[in-house]
Structure 1
Amino acid sequence: MAMMFHCDIVTAEKSMFSGPVEMLVLTGTLGELGVAYGHAPLLTGIKPGPVRVVRQGGQEEIYFLSSGFLEVQPHLVTILADAGDRAGDLDEAAALEAKRQAEQELQNRGAEMEYSAALSRLGEAAARLRTIEELRRRARHAG
């Protein structure tokens, strides 16, 4: 039996997950990161994208989180994100529309347009679409 640790995933609006896990996999500011029992203490930013939560027995749940922070303590991991959804609840049409709008804003740079905000929206929309595609790949391999 794998060693477990407690994980809390919280957004500004809600608690998304709280419970024992074997492992977490997510993208930090410096790249992909796996957290297992006994991981060294860590505080890092996270990038928008999927978070894989591996529960007891290898059961996986996938969440989409926007930017935020990951804190690893000896027996507790906390993820604080600006926003998030269960990956299965993501709306592909809405993500495609958000991506299209952000791309259009970047092409039509005006004096009042905030370039960094549009670039951030584009990155988050692309991350949502990557999460949806990852779910599809997993479904194909599982079935």
Structure 2
Amino acid sequence: MSVRLVAVEREVWSGQATYVFARTKVGEIGVLAHHVPLLAELVQGEMVRIDSTTGEEIFAAVDGGFLSVSEDGVSILAESAELRDEIDVEQARVDITSDDEATRLRGRARLRAAGHEA
């Protein structure tokens, strides 16, 4: 299936995938090819995982947005998104100690996407 991960300022990743995992306001969702159409709001400060058809696992920290499943594939439209190799782990560790809840959530998502549990 075709998958696009798009943030407000750029397309973060696109390609063919076998599986997409995300956390939505109504629970966790796993999407395989031929999934029923749906639109779901993503939880702020969470992680998305995409399993590409080449066997690569793509991890991205996303901050809000929507996941849309249609006949054409899956679109993840996020306020912001960072791939695993773009994440500043040290800054994310600082962020999880912030007094601001949104900053803490973003830091936690970034650590999880980078492979470091928060």
TM-score bin (small chain):
0.7 to 0.9
Give the SS at the match of 1:120. helix
Counterpart-to-counterpart distance in 2, 1:53 and 1:127: 15
Counterpart-to-counterpart distance in 1, 2:13 and 2:86: 15
Give the letter for the 1:98 counterpart.
Answer: D
Aligned pair count reads: 116
Identity %: 26
Give the TM-score normalised by the residue count of structure 1.
Answer: 0.73
Name the structure where helix makes up a greater proportion of residues: 1
Instruction: Return closer, same or farther for 1:130/1:60 CA change in 2, 3 Å cut-off.
Output: closer
Are 1:37 and 2:52 counterparts?
A: no
Contact residue 50 and residue 87 of structure 1 kept, 8 A: no
Give the root-mean-square deviation of aligned CA atoms: 1.7
Task: Give the aligned partner of residue 23 of structure 2.
Answer: 27
Extract structure 1 runs of 4+ deviating beyond 6 A: none
Counterpart-to-counterpart distance in 1, 2:105 and 2:116: 20
Task: Give the aligned partner of residue 46 of structure 2.
Answer: 49
Q: Which runs of 5+ in 2 are unaligned?
A: none
| The structure with more radius of gyration | 1
- Measure how far apart 1:76 and its partner are: 1.8
Contact residue 96 and residue 125 of structure 1 kept, 8 A: yes
